[in-house]
Amino acid sequence: MRVAIYCRLSEEDRNKRSETDDSSSIQNQKTMLLQYSMEQGWEVYNIYSDDDYAGADRRRPQFNRLLKDAEERKFDIVLCKTQSRFTRELELVEKYIHGLFPMWGIRFVSIVDNADTDNKGNKKSRQINGLVNEWYLEDMSDNIRSVLTNRRSNGYHIGSFALYGYVKDPDRKGHLLIDEEAAAVVREVFTLFSQGYGKTAIARMLNDRGIPNPTEYKRLHGLRYKNPKTNNSTLWKYYTIADMLRNEIYIGNMVQGRYGSVSYKTKQNKPRPKSRWYIVEGTHEPIIERELWDRVQALIAQKAKPFVTGKIGLFAGKARCAGCGYVMRSSKSKGKNYLKCTNRYISKDACAGAFISVERLEKIVTDELNRLLEEYLDKEELVRSIGQSSDLTGQRARIISDMAVYKKRLGEYSKALRELYMDKVRGLITESDYMEMTKGFKSERERLEGVIDDKEKQLSEIDKKIAAGDNRSEPLKEYICTEHLTREMVETLIDCIYVGKRIPGTRDVPVEIHWNF
């Protein structure tokens, strides 16, 4: 008689040496069942083992493999420690143990509770076991849900893993501590977005520098973490950045219950409305300051359109039509960027329509800014009110470090292109294959060359500032004598700008600037 041994453990065994090891309880089940098979004189066909799966989970991989092999009559007996190891659902007891297994000529045996389909007298006992297991599942689910709801409501972290940027406090259950290595990346992401970089651009910058994404970071630190959404990729993606920028846990609020289980019989989850989330404020130390958080949320709410890939437009979300008050949208023509009110296209009476080039609006704003600062503001008071200072030496070191990473990556692409060319010369690949394979390499190489060029310009500017010897006053000088604006300056200084329609017969466009000071 050929026997198929099935083992299952529902709790994660924390004493596993590695992810591939079976837990000690699984090993004990195997030992018991192998010994019983040997005493009965049965030949072991295979051992099917599901670790860390609930008895009501129908997606168990080895369980389903066992059922498939049973249907193909590859063995004669299914052997388990208890009937509940096979399933805790009465429906599956009736479907397989009392239904399909007898049709397929397969006997079911469980040792501890003496279930045996060859013994006609204990069918009621098997059915009662199935009913008790079903009740056990439902009661256990209700009890666990009640405990978890209470802990969530009180702001205790109940997840298996802490959010990227934090670690679980070993001395205080349910409390989070800042993981400075990951927190530095989180702060950089928020800062870059507040300065106008898009989510895809930020992800690309982190990937270029070889910074592992949250899933890979946890694995590198020895955590058995899987994220189906990322397919266990090591790269940063758009949605990873997007989720991070909206997560209130980074400002010290505990947010849980965003997903809920469909049923106690499955591990499948579905999103829940925000009204059913558990949000408790001030449960742990924040990584992101409230001011930066509010600035980022305001940018997200504006849904600012980028002028170019990865970079938010200079006046995105700030420029409004004076006629109707709508936010002006970006457009591009012959290499120049423009702002226009799209509301006028709804109907002729909707709005007269405002239109201005970004270059011209920047000139108007900088002229007015310089005039105001020179005429009305005391420079020393400006230093105190704006509070801008920078560590130029630290900035220089970071830029040099980033450039080294980009140059290394550029060298790798150049090397790959040379090797492909030699393969073409040797006749190892065709001309068409060569063109197709080098297309991606060339575009990525050009992009990296552009990034390095930008970094070199930034380095040159910092070197000039360091040579001037006045690190504290340099940010101030950018405000007082500036000729060009940055997105960060626009965010800091400007509340909104109202742009009118060009005055007939002239090139003048009415502009009304509402400052933050």
| Cα atoms in the 13 Å half-sphere on the side-chain side of 80 | 26
- Name, in order, each residue with C-beta under 8 angstroms of 459's C-beta and a sequence gap of 6 or more: 396, 399, 400, 403
Inter-CA distances, 513 with 365, 495, 498, 510, Å? 8, 8, 6, 10
For residue 3, give the nearest of 24, 28, 30, 27 by alpha carbon.
30
CATH number given to 2-152: 3.40.50.1390
User: What was the pLDDT predicted at 508?
Assistant: 86
Average pLDDT of 326-340? Answer: 82
User: What was the pLDDT predicted at 483?
Assistant: 75
User: What was the pLDDT predicted at 332?
Assistant: 81
Burial of 328 (0-12, 13-18, 19+ CB in 10 A): buried
Mean pLDDT for all residues in the chain = 78
- CA 188 to chain centroid, in Å, comes to 15
pLDDT in tens, 247-292: 999 999 998 887 766 555 555 666 777 788 888 888 999 999 999 9
CATH class of the structural domain 166-296: alpha beta
- Name, in order, each residue with C-beta under 8 angstroms of 50's C-beta and a sequence gap of 6 or more: 7, 8, 9, 60, 61, 62, 63
User: What was the pLDDT predicted at 474?
Assistant: 44
- Is residue 517 over pLDDT 70? no
2-152 and 166-296: identical CATH topology: no
Q: Which residue has the higher pLDDT, 246 or 391?
A: 246
Q: How many C-beta neighbours within 10 Å does residue 182 have?
A: 22
> Can you give the residue ranges of every domain in the chain?
2-152, 166-296, 305-387+492-515, 392-471
pLDDT in tens, 423-455: 777 777 777 777 777 776 677 777 778 778 878
Give pTM, 2 decimals.
0.45
Q: How many C-beta neighbours within 10 Å does residue 315 have?
A: 27
Instruction: Say how far apart CA 78 and CA 69 lie, in whole Å.
Output: 11
pLDDT in tens, 75-108: 999 999 888 888 878 788 888 888 899 899 999 9
Rounded to 5°, the CA angle 478-487-210 comes to 105
Inter-CA distances, 273 with 184, 270, 278, Å? 31, 10, 11
pLDDT in tens, 361-376: 999 988 888 887 776 5
Confidence of residue 475 (pLDDT cuts 50, 70, 90): very low
Q: For residue 445, give the 3-state DSSP assignment.
A: helix
Instruction: Say how far apart CA 325 and CA 513 lie, in whole Å.
Output: 13
- Is residue 471 over pLDDT 50? no
Lowest mean pLDDT among 44-53, 61-70, 168-177, 314-323: 314-323
Confidence of residue 381 (pLDDT cuts 50, 70, 90): low
Which tokens sit at 396? 């220089």
